[in-house]
Amino acid sequence: MKLYTLIRLVSLSILIVGCQSNKKESGIKKKEISKPNIIFILADDLGYGDVGFNGQQKIKTPVLDQMAEEGIVFTRHYAGSTVCGPSRASLMTGMHTGHATVRGNPRWTKSGNPVDISSSDITVAEELKRANYNTAIIGKWGLAENLTEGIPNLQGFDYFYGFNQHLNAHHYYPEKIWKNDKQITIEGNVMMDKKGTYSQNLFTNNALEFLDNQSSDQPFFLYLAYTIPHYELTIPEVEKKQYQDQDWPLREMKMGHYRNDKNGHVTYASMVSRMDKDVGLVMKKLKELGVDDNTLVIFTSDNGHEYDNTDNEFFNSNGVFRGRKRDLYEGGIRMPFVARWPNKIKAGSKTDYVSAFWDFLPTACDIAGIVPSSQIDGKSFLPTLINSTAQQKHDYLYWEFNESRGPIQAIIQGDWKLIYFVGRDYELYNLKEDPEEAKNIYSQNLEKGDALKALMLKARTPHPEFPLERKMK
């Protein structure tokens, strides 16, 4: 798989892997042409409650709300982790954090050295290459801190434009950015002064250009990984007009590593609405190109919000849920999720099917008509998308997290959720009866707690860089 990708970088004449090279018959070619296109749009630190279709009242997200009216909303879709690195690794590899190569953000390793996605990991892009898809990642990759085997062009992507590493992705006026395996200069950008071209413009324009360049005889997979609304909080002044006259209190933001604009509430809302508008440009382009009916578009977020103050909520970014980014409570891992696919997904649908990031790889494979080439944790949610009764359910979902108050483990089985602050306390919740996770009922349900504890022990394999031991930083 990796060798194939390396060869592709050297010679653009190699279009399909060996097992497909003899498929000359017109019937096969027709079948390949009819394969659906897939666009996966990922927000960065957007909360469950930050979108209109999940109840947001202050921030306007008309495009995403329209997607919900024309598609399906998952009310119990979970991120791969509560921070971006391991969440994105889970999305790409179909593995939860008990089995994944990347289980934490770069500096939260035992050695202090970052762990990247490896050459042995098989990504969704590599899988789709087997089905002759043209593949692109635009935006934040964040899985190649070492700039070695983790870079996107060695992980199945034909085209990459964006950030390999986390730190550079913190800023919206980058002076340099990666285009495939080369770092290019963004002329006129001054990161510290927030001058030049806004990165959101760069990503959206690249995405539209990628779509314009697709041929009619090859399906495509576009992973559009926006950095909005991750700190830093900044946006061009012209984008703030719809919120500047709101009678909102000032939440004053300070300058430092993050070159924040002063008015936090107005800036945050404007950033989310700007992203919504850009999703609309992508949808418009699909219609212009005549491929709208044959394209599945998914929108979600990588983990819970960081901006809203849970002690004094303004936007209610986590909805009714407890917690935020870096928590394994629902507010940290339950994500907004909407999918649109005309004539395949029933308009205005909603499901409480329990799914997670590691389900995307098998779903993409299912859509492409292939079987995942390695053992994974995910299950295809294609049956739920198309309202089929063939949907398989998870026995459980599992997370582990080393940062902050960690290590923390969490496991969900049906409506039951067990959280373990390693070496300290267990918390048990029934999410159907108590979605806010307000009442710890562990001591009243020891038998259920013990069953979930036993399952939690089986859910992971050891990782030398991510041991479940307290680490102070």
Structure letter (DSSP) for residue 259 = B
Does the pLDDT at position 26 exceed 60? Answer: no
Looking at residue 470, its pLDDT comes to 77
Give the pLDDT mean for 368-379.
98
Half-sphere exposure in the Cβ direction for 337 (13 Å, CA): 23
Domain spans of the chain? Answer: 32-393
Q: What percent of the chain has pLDDT over 70?
A: 92
Q: Reduced to 3 states, what is the DSSP secondary structure of residue 381?
A: coil
pTM of this prediction?
Answer: 0.93
Does the pLDDT at position 405 exceed 70? Answer: yes
The CB density around residue 261, as the number of other CB atoms within 10 Å, is 20
Bridge-based pairing of strands 355-356 and 77-78 is parallel
SS (H, E, C) 193-215: HCECCCHHHHHHHHHHHHHHCCC
Q: How confident is the model at residue 406 (pLDDT cuts 50, 70, 90)?
A: confident
User: Is residue 232 reached through a cis peptide bond, with omega within 30 degrees of 0 on the bond before it?
Assistant: yes
Looking at residue 471, its pLDDT comes to 62
Measured between alpha carbons, how far is 368 from 392 in angstroms, rounded to an integer?
18
Per-residue model confidence as pLDDT tens digits over 201-239: 999 999 999 999 999 899 999 999 999 999 999 999 999
Q: How confident is the model at residue 295 (pLDDT cuts 50, 70, 90)?
A: very high
Classify domain 32-393 at the CATH superfamily level: Alkaline Phosphatase, subunit A (3.40.720.10)
- Pick from 466, 293, 398: nearest CA to 79: 398
Q: How confident is the model at residue 6 (pLDDT cuts 50, 70, 90)?
A: very low
Give the pLDDT mean for 184-209.
98
CA 32 to chain centre: 27
Over the range 24-53, which residues count as b (16 or more CB within 10 Å of their CB) and which as e?
eeeeeeeebeebbbbbbbbbbbbbbbbbbb
Looking at residue 19, its pLDDT comes to 32
Looking at residue 24, its pLDDT comes to 31
Type of residue numbered 181: D
Long-range contacts of 415-422 (CB under 8 A, 24+ apart): 416/448, 416/452, 418/442, 418/449, 418/452, 418/453, 418/456, 419/328, 419/329, 420/453, 420/456, 422/468, 422/469, 422/470
Instruction: State the chain's mean pLDDT as an integer.
Output: 93
Q: How confident is the model at residue 28 (pLDDT cuts 50, 70, 90)?
A: very low
- Pick from 179, 156, 178, 184: nearest CA to 165: 178
Query: Helices 264-288 and 199-212 meet at what angle, rounded to 10?
Result: 10
Give the pLDDT mean for 308-315.
94
Per the listing, tokens 């979970």 go with 78
Per-residue model confidence as pLDDT tens digits over 83-106: 999 999 999 999 999 999 999 999
Per-residue model confidence as pLDDT tens digits over 125-181: 999 999 999 999 999 999 999 999 999 999 999 999 999 999 999 999 999 999 999
